[in-house]
Amino acid sequence: MELMADNSIAILTAAPEQTRNRDIHYPYRQDSDLFYLTGFPEPEAVLVLVPGREHGECLIFCRDRNIEREIWDGYRAGPEGACEKYGADDAFPIDDIDEILPGLLEGRDRVYYAMGKNLTFDRHLMDWVNTIRGRARAGATPPGEFVDLDHLLHELRLFKSAAELKIMREAGKISTRAHCRAMQICKPGMYEYQLQAEIEHEFAMAGARFPAYGSIVGSGENGCILHYVENSAKLKDGDLVLIDAGCELQHYAADITRTFPINGKYSAEQKAIYDVVLEAQLAGIKACTKGNHWDEPHQVTVEVITEGLRELDLLDGELNELIETKAYMHFYMHRAGHWLGMDVHDVGDYKIDDEWRLLEKSMVMTVEPGIYISPDNKDVHKRWRGIGIRIEDDVLVTAKGPEVLTSDAPKETADIEALMSGK
């Protein structure tokens, strides 16, 4: 509220429930912005911030208590609980919002609101503004300015507090345990979905009830599909398996990728490619230091990967020219990472005034270079084809340098082979 302009109001809505099929909903996940500010977990809720308002600055509209509905659908906080448990100054039943919100909007100079994300609510908001306009001759003044709330709020979310980091470190630990479990259990003949089940079992047993995104378990050439989620193939002796999976703990995400040999031993070609990706990843992590700009970790991964591919004769030409012409993009077609937080691809600007922003303490990002050699790539010898490798960790920028939140999952080939052989 301190960042908001004088005489302004901010409005945020809860995530809508989503139908899975017929009368069944997907598991409910609160909108990250609303949860960040309130911790309020229910659908059909609206948060209104009115800095300086004498009768309360932080208002929550939510579902009323309803003993009969609660027997079917579970507990509701109700307006009373919204004040007592979630810290609202005042709270009202959501059914009364049409009567109350126009009065709160009236006479405010500026409305902070994330337009276009909840079309039903956008329409309500315009209806309320029109209600005020309709009363103009009676002296009512509608708000003059609508400003995107995301800009203010997402800048706050980009910098993680000590309390948030505590959760993110724990999410990192649970997720590393899950990757270790998959490495230890993996053997030829299993199915990708069985490794997914092992991973998600470890998440759930630690209280992280949902993955932060659809777990990716891609064996063999499926590892070359960046967002492979079918997870249905049989694991073949001699292939690699790429697992990109992280838990969501108390609304905070972890995001880890490891790529390991299904039979426990990397082949010469697999190890050659793997070591290039690992070198790039370690260099990328080292570049996650305060004062470097956002693109620096990406650039160093591009350099190491391009040079590595050149040395393996998978790319032919001068290093600088291969980088300039983006020749590496046949093998490494995504960026080195993204912000990480409540959303796996978290909020926060990457550029300020059209320049890459500088990394600062308390930002969390992923570093996840990869090399993917398409099974259809006729420009390379067939012994390389179908190898897909990514290595991903979560990195906190600190005053003392990068802190890897997911360092417990082994990533040197020898360490992975030792863990898989039970040593």
Beta strands in 131-183 (DSSP E): 145-147
SS3 380: coil
- Whether the CA torsion 283, 284, 289, 295 is positive or negative: it is positive
Closest residue to ligand GLY using C-beta atoms: 244
Asked if 244 touches Mn ion (CB under 5 A), the answer is yes
Token pair belonging to 208: 């992280």
Shortest approach of Mn ion to residue 338 CB, angstroms?
Answer: 6
What residues line the site for ligand GLY (CB under 6 A)? 213, 244, 255, 338, 344, 368, 392
345 is catalytic: yes
Query: Shortest Cβ distance from residue 56 to Mn ion (Å)?
Result: 40
23 classed as catalytic: yes
- Annotated catalytic residue 95: no
Q: Is 153 left (phi over 0), alpha (psi -120 to 50) or beta?
A: alpha
Compute φ and ψ for 415, nearest 5 degrees. -70, -40
Q: Give the one entry of Mn ion, ligand GLY, none that residue 164 binds, where binding means its C-beta sits below a cut-off of 5 to 8 angstroms depending on kind.
A: none
Q: How far is the CB of 368 from ligand GLY (least distance, A)?
A: 6
CA distance 153 to 155: 5
Structure tokens belonging to residue 331: 């093998």
Nearer to ligand GLY, 142 or 337 (CB): 337
Shortest Å, Cβ 244 to ligand GLY: 5
The verdict on whether 96 is a catalytic residue reads no
d(CA 48, CA 101): 9
71 token code pair: 């027997």
The residue annotated as part of the active site, out of 53, 124, 338, 357, is 338
Distances (CA, A) of 142 to 137, 382, 394: 12, 68, 46
Partner that binds at residue 150, options Mn ion, ligand GLY, none, CB closer than 5 to 8 Å by kind: none
Q: How far is the CB of 405 from ligand GLY (least distance, A)?
A: 14
CB of 11 vs ligand GLY, minimal distance in Å: 30
Q: Residue 251 catalytic?
A: no
Whole-angstrom Cα distance, residue 407 to residue 172?
Answer: 8
36: amino acid identity, one letter: Y
Q: Could you give the CA distance from residue 240 to residue 400 in angstroms, rounded to a whole number?
A: 36
State how far the Cα of 18 lies from the Cα of 3, in Å rounded to an integer: 33
Binding partner at 265 among Mn ion, ligand GLY, none, C-beta below 5 to 8 Å by kind: none
Residue in 265, 340, 332, 256 with CA at minimum distance from that of residue 300: 332
**Amino acid identity for residue 345 in this structure:** H
Q: What's the min distance (Å) between Cβ of 242 and ligand GLY?
A: 11
Catalytic site residue 293? no
Provide the minimum distance between the beta carbon of 392 and Mn ion in the complex, in angstroms, as a whole number: 5
Residue 94 and residue 356: Cα distance in Å, rounded? 42
Q: Could you say which of 150, 221, 307, 368 is catalytic?
A: 368
Q: Which of 255, 296, 307, 394 is catalytic?
A: 255
394 touches Mn ion (CB under 5 A):
no
Query: Of Mn ion, ligand GLY, none, which one sits near residue 394, judging by CB under 5 to 8 A according to partner kind?
Result: none
Set 390, 393, 394, 417: catalytic member: 390
Helix (H) or strand (E) holding 111: strand 110-113
Q: Which does 393 bind (CB under 5 to 8 A by kind): ligand GLY, Mn ion, none?
A: none
- Exactly one of 198, 392, 394, 417 is catalytic; which is it? 392
330 annotated active-site: no
- Name the binder of 198 from Mn ion, ligand GLY, none, CB < 5-8 A by kind: none
Q: Which of 160, 149, 210, 201 is nearest to 179 (CA)?
A: 201
164 near Mn ion, rule: CB under 5 A = no
d(CA 420, CA 265) in angstroms, rounded, equals 9
Please report whether residue 255 would count as binding Mn ion according to CB under 5 A. Answer: yes
How far out from the chain centre does Cα 263 lie? 31
Catalytic entry in 252, 332, 372, 417: 372
How many C-beta neighbours within 10 Å does residue 73 have? Answer: 11
Q: Which of 244, 296, 343, 417 is catalytic?
A: 244
The tokens describing 36, both together, are 């960040």
Is-catalytic flag, 334?
yes
**Which residue number, 150 or 244, has a Cβ lying nearer to ligand GLY?**
244
Our answer to whether residue 201 is catalytic in this structure is: no
Q: Quick check: 202 binds Mn ion (CB under 5 A)?
A: no
Provide the binding-site residues for Mn ion, judged by CB under 5 A: 244, 255, 366, 392
Q: Which residues have a catalytic role annotated? A: 23, 227, 244, 255, 334, 338, 345, 368, 372, 390, 392
